[in-house]
Chain A
């Protein structure tokens, strides 16, 4: 599997939000405004790439040799949570500007299943380190793309005459479904 395939596959074909349906809570929760959607997308890119790499190291050098693969769920969660905390502290000290830009989205990602899901997918496919890195970036970019597209649509839905029972989250889910169907068109590419 070449890098190009991984990139196209991660962003479009196997889009983590619209094809694999992971991370739906931030998808619906932070997509009402473009501004929050962009903030969330940036934070996800940052954390997902780091988490993907670290969990790969943990999996390859500790879990597999010691035959503890069945422990990966709890181990990954612990590592991701610690990682987010660590990153928060690191950014606050070293890159205050980025810390201020990501704001409250950074701690919110601790509970984002897209991050965890991407880590699991990475190790399931037995990728090497570089491919893991590329795939993590691709997934994160795919997440950001879907979220920003969706926020753009939702900002316009506010202006439309939506029947009362369908307002807000309901029409949001319908829209997400249609968006997901459009991404289905990428299926044949790889």
Chain B
């Protein structure tokens, strides 16, 4: 009987509670927008407070009231944002997910300048003389960011600096706010791609020097731990042409390598080539992420390194890009100027295909000024134009007889030969002399002589008006040319080209020179020796004394409302050499077209800077680069006179084909290092940051 009354009691109590609640829900009914419940359903329901609202329902109320964006829930991710935007009838926008990352790799290897016994907080420590670390911009290591992170995504790693777990990070920005040294940054992929090296960045001398600003210590470290894919991705954040650069770059970074102060520098470019070749040899292209589409249309004129780089970065920033190129295939000067033995065109094609695969349109065989002009591009809906037309017009000597039969100019010769080799190998081979002279001391001249040797010229001579020390060509190229049996005639200024009755070239007359006082460029000026005229017998002459942009399009572009300003070297003028905006606001330029003939890697860096300017220009934002932009300069504090703790370790030499084998064909002469060599070479890296580095363990 007892149990029956208990059951009855509970039933009655339940009924009373239920009735009261249901009546209450009617009486106390508050109209609530039904969308609030739907929106709340799409949030993560974690009540984490990361969005700044008291719980998910409060956030949902704010979204429905229009006070918060659809992306309010930082935990649920982009899919939820799209769903919420769908409920609200809003455009989800091109919101990319933010991720936090640490910019200091020094950690506790950075020396202390005083002993600190205060409370365990970076904020507190930073107020005391800016912190106890010698490094002015380094991590203090007390982990305010770790405490601030509500998602347990940050840990202080083994080396005393924070390590972000990207899987857990939601990009709320709490760590960035608390860090007194601005070590923690929170950026989207696009923001990372747009960053230019700054004077207050935590970067090693090599990265400061690289014209493309590649994070060199990071990719070498990734190579060292066997993460070749990670290394490739790191390089691709700054340089889309890693296979090509790995082969042809004269690596200015290695000149500033900190190991190079006491030992031979790390062979950085060989490592780049190793990881790039590793990706190509696996045959599997690594995925490259692209920001959500922005709906802007851009024209890139010129498919060379600058144009490819600009197109690649613009595409990754979410724009629609079309490359207009005058040549049949992409690559520009690195396809039609750099010979096959330095950069096999199959390799280049693999690389350019990878860039086009991002969704870039390529229109070949159309030249600016001949088939279209900038006015017609703007009329057909392009929002901005990048001019990367390169420097394809050879300078001439200006001496008598240089137009005789058998006289060529450098770029012209290389291009004609490359087109024959790549496009029309069944046609008659271009003319090659027996006794050839190439005038000039740059890379174009060396490319010409090494090409001539491979084509079977009996005697090939370089005539240069200064000495070997002043030659602007890459040292490795000069050495290779010497090995391949090229004659060098230094301190010789051509004065006249001699010909026969039929108009064919027969000889070159030159004046001998001696070195005088240094000139503006710091090189000693060659002074002619009176009466020292000498004649060499030749049947072919190539002048490769420099090149500038071919700007014939300017006269043809009648629909431009204003005049495009050029410099006195016919390069496209831009007020700011970092922003690269021309005198017409929607036209940007970069690479050889803006600077005159320069390195491939400089063109790649310029392509990215122009892409940055175009991106901001399209968003109506200020394109002026930050005032602390480094632009290839070095941060004084990071350049050392001497470096302690270095054990001499020999640098890995680049493997080459034997000379007698390589001069018979256009097979690639420089070879890739082996995996073991790459692991050894990457272990030579000191993993420098701004001022700290790993000493060699004795």
Contacts of B14 in A (CB 8 A): 78
Could you say which of B10, B17, B25, B28 contacts A74, with CB atoms under 8 Å apart? B10
Q: Are B124 and A159 in contact (CB under 8 A)?
A: yes
Q: Are B54 and A104 in contact (CB under 8 A)?
A: yes
Whether A103 is near chain B, meaning CB under 8 Å from some CB there, is: yes
Could you say which of A79, A86, A93 contacts B29, with CB atoms under 8 Å apart? A93
Q: Are B121 and A89 in contact (CB under 8 A)?
A: no
- Contact digits for B71-114, partner A, Cβ 8 Å, 1 yes 0 no: 00000000000000000000000000000000000000000000
User: Given known contacts A78-B14, A104-B54, A159-B124, is B25 in contact with A89 (CB within 8 Å)?
Assistant: yes
Q: Are B13 and A78 in contact (CB under 8 A)?
A: yes
Q: How many residues of B contact A (CB 8 A)?
A: 26
Could you say which of B17, B28, B120, B121 contacts A79, with CB atoms under 8 Å apart? B17
* A79 and B30 alpha carbons, distance in the complex (Å): 23
Contacts of B9 in A (CB 8 A): 62, 66, 68, 71, 75
* A103 and B47 alpha carbons, distance in the complex (Å): 11
Question: Interface residue tally of chain A, by bracket?
Answer: 20 to 34
* A82 and B6 alpha carbons, distance in the complex (Å): 19
* A85 and B22 alpha carbons, distance in the complex (Å): 10
* A71 and B28 alpha carbons, distance in the complex (Å): 31
Contacts of B627 in A (CB 8 A): none
Q: Are A86 and B20 in contact (CB under 8 A)?
A: yes
| Number of A-B residue pairs with CB-CB distance less than 8 Å in the complex they form | 60
Shortest beta-carbon distance from B374 to chain A in Å: 58
* A159 and B146 alpha carbons, distance in the complex (Å): 12
Whether A182 is near chain B, meaning CB under 8 Å from some CB there, is: no
Whether B349 is near chain A, meaning CB under 8 Å from some CB there, is: no
Shortest beta-carbon distance from B289 to chain A in Å: 36
* A75 and B28 alpha carbons, distance in the complex (Å): 25
Whether B288 is near chain A, meaning CB under 8 Å from some CB there, is: no
Could you say which of B29, B47, B58, B147 contacts A158, with CB atoms under 8 Å apart? B147
Residue of B nearest to A90 (CB): B28
Describe A's contact surface by its main secondary structure. helix
Whether A187 is near chain B, meaning CB under 8 Å from some CB there, is: no
Whether A160 is near chain B, meaning CB under 8 Å from some CB there, is: yes
Within 8 A of A (CB), among B339-355: none
Could you say which of B13, B17, B119 contacts A159, with CB atoms under 8 Å apart? B119
Shortest beta-carbon distance from A132 to chain B in Å: 20
Could you say which of B2, B21, B55, B121 contacts A86, with CB atoms under 8 Å apart? B21
Whether B128 is near chain A, meaning CB under 8 Å from some CB there, is: no
* A161 and B120 alpha carbons, distance in the complex (Å): 6
* A100 and B17 alpha carbons, distance in the complex (Å): 25
Whether B380 is near chain A, meaning CB under 8 Å from some CB there, is: no
Shortest beta-carbon distance from B524 to chain A in Å: 63
Within 8 A of A (CB), among B1-15: 2, 5-6, 9-10, 13-14
Shortest beta-carbon distance from A72 to chain B in Å: 11
Q: Are A93 and B30 in contact (CB under 8 A)?
A: yes
Whether B24 is near chain A, meaning CB under 8 Å from some CB there, is: yes
Residue of B nearest to A159 (CB): B119
Q: Are A75 and B124 in contact (CB under 8 A)?
A: no
Residue of B nearest to A87 (CB): B24
Can you pick out 23 interface pairs between chain A and chain B where the beta carbons lie within 8 Å of each other? A58-B13, A62-B9, A66-B5, A67-B2, A67-B5, A68-B5, A68-B6, A71-B9, A75-B9, A78-B10, A78-B17, A82-B18, A82-B21, A85-B21, A86-B24, A89-B25, A90-B28, A93-B28, A103-B54, A104-B54, A159-B120, A159-B124, A160-B119
Residues of chain B whose beta carbon lies under 8 Å from any beta carbon of chain A: 2, 5-6, 9-10, 13-14, 17-18, 20-21, 24-25, 27-30, 47, 54-55, 58, 119-121, 124, 147
Return the 3 tightest CB-CB contacts between A and B, nearest first: A93-B28, A82-B17, A103-B54
